[in-house]
């Protein structure tokens, strides 16, 4: 029985290692989907062409000054989604933004539609740091 536990533990380690070896690319794909759902103007150089050509998350960092100006005129769902995305980039700034748009906990993400929830879920599952 001890061998079974060791075998199961080794299999779990292998699954985890495989997941996190793929995580940076999966995070980037989810991040890019999120950028496309919001607006390329809020990220990187601010153009669709730049988003299309971006090869990593560093090319699509949130433009915090533009976001600060734009977030006030967005729908409540867009504001929540954008603030959640920014929180992956910078926890402090994202936390302030989440509070600003009325998010007090994860349950407040429940107002997002399935497509936006899937992006956030994929970001959570594949986040390994910015």
pLDDT digits (tens, 9 = 90+) for 30-58: 999 999 999 999 999 999 999 999 999 99
Distance CA 51, CA 9 (A): 40
DSSP 129: -
For 91-117, how does the pLDDT look when each residue is reduced to its tens digit (9 = 90+)? 999 999 999 999 999 999 999 999 999
Could you tell me the pLDDT band of residue 22, with boundaries at 50, 70 and 90?
very high
């Amino acid at each position: 029985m001890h061998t079974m536990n060791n075998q199961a533990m080794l299999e779990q380690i292998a699954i985890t290692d495989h997941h996190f070896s793929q995580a940076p690319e999966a995070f980037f794909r989810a991040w890019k989907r999120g950028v496309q759902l919001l607006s390329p103007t809020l990220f990187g150089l601010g153009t669709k062409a730049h988003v299309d050509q971006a090869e990593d998350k560093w090319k699509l960092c949130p433009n915090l000054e533009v976001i600060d100006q734009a977030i006030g005129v967005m729908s409540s769902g867009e504001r929540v989604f954008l603030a959640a995305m920014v929180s992956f980039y910078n926890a402090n700034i994202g936390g302030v933004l989440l509070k600003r748009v009325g998010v007090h906990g994860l349950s407040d993400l429940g107002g997002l539609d399935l497509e936006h929830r899937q992006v956030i879920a994929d970001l959570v599952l594949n986040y390994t740091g910015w």
